Amino acid sequence: MALETALAGLYGPEDFGNPVHGRPAAPARSRVTAEERARALPMPSLEWTPEVERATAHLYEKVKAVIPPVEWPFMAPYIKAINELKRERNAVILAHNYQTPEIFNCVADIGGDSLKLAIEATKVKADTIIQCGVHFMAETSKILNPAKTVLIPDSRAGCSLASSITGEDVRLLRERFPGVPVVAYVNTSADVKAEVDICCTSSNAVQVVESLGADTVIMLPDQYLAKYVASKTRVKIIAWKGACEVHERFTGDELRSYRTADPGVQIIAHPECPPDVIAEADFTGSTAHMINWVRDNKPKRVVLVTECSMADNVQAELPQIEFVKPCNLCPHMKRITLPKIWGSLVYMREEVTIDPMIADKARRSVERMINLKN
Ligand code: SF4
């Protein structure tokens, strides 16, 4: 089935006369408030010393394929301090695959894609969750762990998909298509999750759509993931005009140029990419499926058509594989840095809160997806 023609409908904010969208960008938070200062822990030293070098040597082993030795003395003091502060705060760090290698490999307790982080967030015993990812991920952790404190090191870490749609848009879609079930990609705000029937990730989107037993399903907000799902199922898909600003930048021409330079190169793509990119790929799958494909197939050279840091993280694990890196970085993911994680733990900032009524409704959509998997 042609990906370009597979959708039953495509809607956007302009179709409802509602141009104002998403969570407004949070103001920059550089100053520490009096309340944060009152609960601050004593700050560990951030000097590069022989003791820091010894204490972090085993961690450098994990990332030496992707972090030059000259950069390590700037990172290691933060890494040592963060790992100590985590114990003092009884905190756990969850990191998405798109986090930089020093975060993903050296301070995170759990790393993975959105689905894995959502599920693991339900099992953690710690009092505090530090979410190294973007705001909707921190909201998902809070939705699933209402009694825990969830912190995000920079609350401005947004997402072009999550900000493309509001809960009000979902209500208007329901009015236009009464009785049609609505599936939301997890890359949405709590407000949107509260209005839909079930969530999905790029790992389980086809399974979720087919589980509803309907001949037509509204799937939002990623038009490209919706097109990909529509090409894999007989269910008619009505989509929303959202897109990931990182994945929509890739083009089929760009991938063909990699293949022309090396006909043996393997190209694997994320389903948030446009159809001409997916048509050019040897394999398409979620971040978890992409990583497993590389582990299982061990190609000589591979292009991971997704956010750039994921290739670094897989390369840290599999240094024998050559990764061609078309480096599209997610500016939102890159707001999370070691100094900001350190600041989160010292001052217990920035706390993610959700109206309990919205959180209860959103939880039903997320748990319906999780229970489907089990
Ligand atoms: S990579 Fe795309 S989908 Fe992921 S957080 Fe960034 S903008 Fe959102």
Domain assignment present for 75: yes
Q: What is the mean pLDDT of the chain?
A: 91
Q: Verify that 18 and 166 share a domain, yes or no.
A: yes
**Total count of domains within the chain:** 3
Query: In what helix (H) or strand (E) does residue 120 lie, and over which residues does it extend?
Result: helix 114-121
Q: Verify that 280 and 310 share a domain, yes or no.
A: yes
State in Å: Cα 142 to ligand 1 middle. 19
The DSSP bridge partners found for residue 284 are: 269
Domain assignment present for 155: yes
pLDDT tens digits, one per residue of 263-308: 999 999 999 999 999 999 999 999 999 999 999 999 999 999 999 8
Structure tokens at 201: 């990730």
Choose the final residue of a domain: 244, 276, 308. 244
Choose the final residue of a domain: 213, 244, 275. 244
Q: Verify that 95 and 130 share a domain, yes or no.
A: yes
Could you tell me the maximum CA-CA distance found in the chain, to the nearest angstrom?
66
* DSSP collapsed to 3 states, 42-75: CCCCCCCCHHHHHHHHHHHHHHCCCCCHHHHHHH
Using a pLDDT cut of 70, give the percent of the chain over it. Answer: 94
Domain assignment present for 52: yes
337 C-beta closer than 6 A to ligand 1 = no
Flag whether pLDDT at 83 surpasses 70. yes
State in Å: Cα 57 to ligand 1 middle. 32
Domain assignment present for 275: yes
Give the number of other Cβ atoms within 10 Å of residue 173's Cβ. 22
Q: Verify that 282 and 214 share a domain, yes or no.
A: no
Q: Verify that 89 and 171 share a domain, yes or no.
A: no
What's the CATH number where 216 sits? Answer: 3.40.50.10800
Q: Verify that 47 and 137 share a domain, yes or no.
A: yes
Give the number of other Cβ atoms within 10 Å of residue 102's Cβ. 26
Flag whether pLDDT at 4 surpasses 70. no
Helices (H), ranges, 264-355: 275-280, 287-297, 308-317, 338-347
pLDDT at residue 43, rounded to an integer: 76
Domain assignment present for 48: yes
Flag whether pLDDT at 16 surpasses 80. no
CA-nearest residue, atom 7 of ligand 1: 159
Flag whether pLDDT at 3 surpasses 60. no
Distance CA 160, CA 164 (A): 6
Distance CA 111, CA 228 (A): 26
Q: Verify that 50 and 128 share a domain, yes or no.
A: yes
Domain assignment present for 318: yes
CA-nearest residue, atom 6 of ligand 1: 330
**Look-up: residue for tokens 């799937």?**
219
Structure tokens at 186: 């997890």
Instruction: Give the mutation target among 117, 273, 307 for probing the ligand 1 site: most ligand atoms within 8 A of CB.
Output: 307
Long-range contacts of 38-42 (CB under 8 A, 24+ apart): 39/347, 39/348, 40/346, 40/347, 41/85, 41/88, 41/89, 41/345, 41/346
Structure tokens at 316: 């840290």
54 or 4: whose pLDDT is higher? 54
Q: Verify that 84 and 9 share a domain, yes or no.
A: no
3-state secondary structure of 167: helix
243 C-beta closer than 6 A to ligand 1 = no
Find the domain containing 138 and state its range: 43-160+334-347
333 C-beta closer than 6 A to ligand 1 = yes
Q: Which atom of ligand 1 is nearest to the CA of 331?
A: 6
Structure tokens at 273: 């990419």
Distance CA 168, CA 195 (A): 9
Flag whether pLDDT at 189 surpasses 70. yes
pLDDT tens digits, one per residue of 147-188: 999 999 999 999 999 999 999 999 999 999 999 999 999 999
pLDDT at residue 326, rounded to an integer: 79
Q: Which atom of ligand 1 is nearest to the CA of 244?
A: 2
- The answer to whether residues 235 and 182 touch, using CB atoms and an 8 Å cutoff, is no
Instruction: Give the mutation target among 188, 224, 330 for probing the ligand 1 site: most ligand atoms within 8 A of CB.
Output: 330
Domain assignment present for 362: no
Domain assignment present for 82: yes
Choose the final residue of a domain: 244, 276, 303. 244
- The answer to whether residues 6 and 237 touch, using CB atoms and an 8 Å cutoff, is yes
Structure tokens at 22: 């998403």
Give, rounded to a whole angstrom, the gap between the first and last alpha carbons of the chain.
30
pTM of the model: 0.92
Q: Verify that 184 and 272 share a domain, yes or no.
A: no
Distance CA 149, CA 49 (A): 33
pLDDT at residue 30, rounded to an integer: 62
pLDDT at residue 38, rounded to an integer: 76
State in Å: Cα 330 to ligand 1 middle. 6
Q: Which residues contact 37 (CB under 8 A, 6 or more apart)?
A: 347
pLDDT at residue 1, rounded to an integer: 45
Q: Verify that 141 and 238 share a domain, yes or no.
A: no
pLDDT tens digits, one per residue of 344-372: 999 999 999 999 999 999 999 999 998 98
pLDDT at residue 307, rounded to an integer: 92
Q: Verify that 252 and 319 share a domain, yes or no.
A: yes
115 or 186: whose pLDDT is higher? 186
Q: Verify that 177 and 236 share a domain, yes or no.
A: yes
